[in-house]
Structure 1
Amino acid sequence: MNMINTTPALQETDQLRADIYALLATLLRNAPETELLAWLASLEPDQDEDTPMARAWSTLALTARHSKPQQLDNEYHHLFIGVGRGELMPFACWYLTGSLMEKPLVLLREDLKRLGFERQPSVKEPEDHIAALCEVMSLLITNGHGYATQHQFWQQHLASWANRFFSDVQTADNAVFYTAAGLLGNAFMQQEDNWFIQLSPAVRENGQQQ
């Protein structure tokens, strides 16, 4: 996705949210390359913190340490591309209607146009690919869209199906490294749900980041 905007200063929590969305987008767009895999393997989460997110980070780091780029290329191909189709279909329409290119994609494109996003020419997948939606959420945060806009987009285009997708990733026959990525996705979607619930109505609805 492309969007031209100035980037305001973000509080640490919002920057972390944007970074996690961007990481999920990267992992779900392509298999991680050597540099990203090394960074994931170097993570050292706080061992005293027993939360779903902390456990997900620990699992992802451990899995990355035992993974090789070529192995992950093959895993990604079997999961999401395949011959004809992969084991999983990472598209909102598929999870919401059982088919591709249906009404949820039409509504998404309307929202993306209204928000000023356009698909990059090099991207061939429809905009309801999970990676694209995570990328949009990251850009909404970093480009200063308030919590009201973030919550509306998340509620409309991710909340209704992303957890099912990430759960399917964890149990997929071809998933090894991506089992950990699915665990992170599930934990983060739950964290986002809690995040929006805990915002006061005034903060959430006036669209201001605090």
Structure 2
Amino acid sequence: MSKQETVMTTEARAQIADEDRLRADLYDFLGVLLAAPPSEALLAQTASLSGDSETDLGVAVAALSRIARHTKPQAVEREFNALFIGLGRGELLPYASYYLTGFLNEKPLASLRRDMAARGMTRAQNVYEPEDNIASLMEMMGGLITGRFGKPATLGDQKTFFNTHIGPWAGHFFTDLEAAKNSVLYASVGAVGRVFMEIEAEGFRMSAEGSA
């Protein structure tokens, strides 16, 4: 990222409401956890989180924090590999195309690539898996909110992207992750993701009603 882009991103973030910044941070956090096995530093960061016991999301975050305190990097790497890589394939296939059509590299991926191009998003050169994987979509949504790909997206544009590429399947994926036989730490990641997707879907629904 150039110095000018960094300044633009910093200025854009300064104009974002605290609530939206927190939403983006949670999208980014889920994206990092789902992209690769967490390092010792990320596990320590996760272990330091606290959650409000009065809300479903707070309870899920607190549970994730408790498990992270007792998780070693080597153990979570084995867990990640069993869930997402495996011998040939992992227990779960975290791709929109697979969840929506039963096959990889289908119409949902083509649709996402068109929307990525329209928004100035490009796949990193060292990433080879399809762009419709859950980690990338979490990162994209966080970036749309904060303006990482240009100006911060309007609520309407966020809603369109979410309802097209995330809402139809991510909740199902996170539910599967929560219940997967190889999930330990990632069962709690699944719970956080599932509840967060429910909150986001409801928030977008209410915003539509409010503007009607």
TM-score for the superposition, normalised by structure 1? 0.91
* Number of the residue aligned with 2:196: 188
Q: Which runs of 5+ in 1 are unaligned?
A: 206-210
- Aligned counterparts, 1:26-175, within 5 A: 26-47=32-53, 49=54, 51-143=55-147, 144-175=152-183
Q: What is the Cα deviation at residue 200 of structure 1?
A: 5.3
Q: What is the Cα deviation at residue 118 of structure 1?
A: 0.5
Q: What is the Cα deviation at residue 31 of structure 1?
A: 1.1
Counterpart CA distance in 2 for 1:134 and 1:40 is: 17
Q: What is the Cα deviation at residue 119 of structure 1?
A: 0.3
Counterpart CA distance in 2 for 1:74 and 1:87 is: 12
Residue identity in the other structure for 1:19: D
Q: 2:24 aligns with which of 18, 25, 42?
A: 18
Counterpart CA distance in 1 for 2:51 and 2:79 is: 25
Residues 21-76 of structure 1 deviation map (CA, whole Å, 9 limit, x = unaligned): 000100100111111111111123234x2x21011111100110110001000000
Counterpart CA distance in 2 for 1:110 and 1:141 is: 19
Q: Which runs of 5+ in 2 are unaligned?
A: none
Counterpart CA distance in 2 for 1:38 and 1:63 is: 11
Residue identity in the other structure for 1:152: T
The structure whose RCO (Cα within 8 Å, separation 6+) is larger is 1
* Number of the residue aligned with 1:208: none
Residue identity over aligned pairs, in percent, reads 43
Counterpart CA distance in 2 for 1:19 and 1:156 is: 21
Alignment check: 8 A CA contact 2:52 2:59 kept: no
Counterpart CA distance in 1 for 2:207 and 2:62 is: 28
Q: Secondary structure at the match of 1:145?
A: coil
C-alpha RMSD of the superposition: 1.5
Counterpart CA distance in 2 for 1:189 and 1:39 is: 22
Q: What is the Cα deviation at residue 124 of structure 1?
A: 1.0
Q: Secondary structure at the match of 2:142?
A: helix
Counterpart CA distance in 1 for 2:102 and 2:207 is: 34
Residue identity in the other structure for 1:182: G
Residues 136-170 of structure 1 deviation map (CA, whole Å, 9 limit, x = unaligned): 00000000111111100000001110011000001
TM-score for the superposition, normalised by structure 2? 0.90
Counterpart CA distance in 2 for 1:120 and 1:151 is: 24
Q: Secondary structure at the match of 1:121?
A: coil
* Number of the residue aligned with 2:207: 199
Counterpart CA distance in 1 for 2:174 and 2:154 is: 26
Task: Please list every run of at least 4 consecutive aligned residues from structure 1 whose deviation after the TM superposition is greater than 4 angstroms.
Answer: 200-203
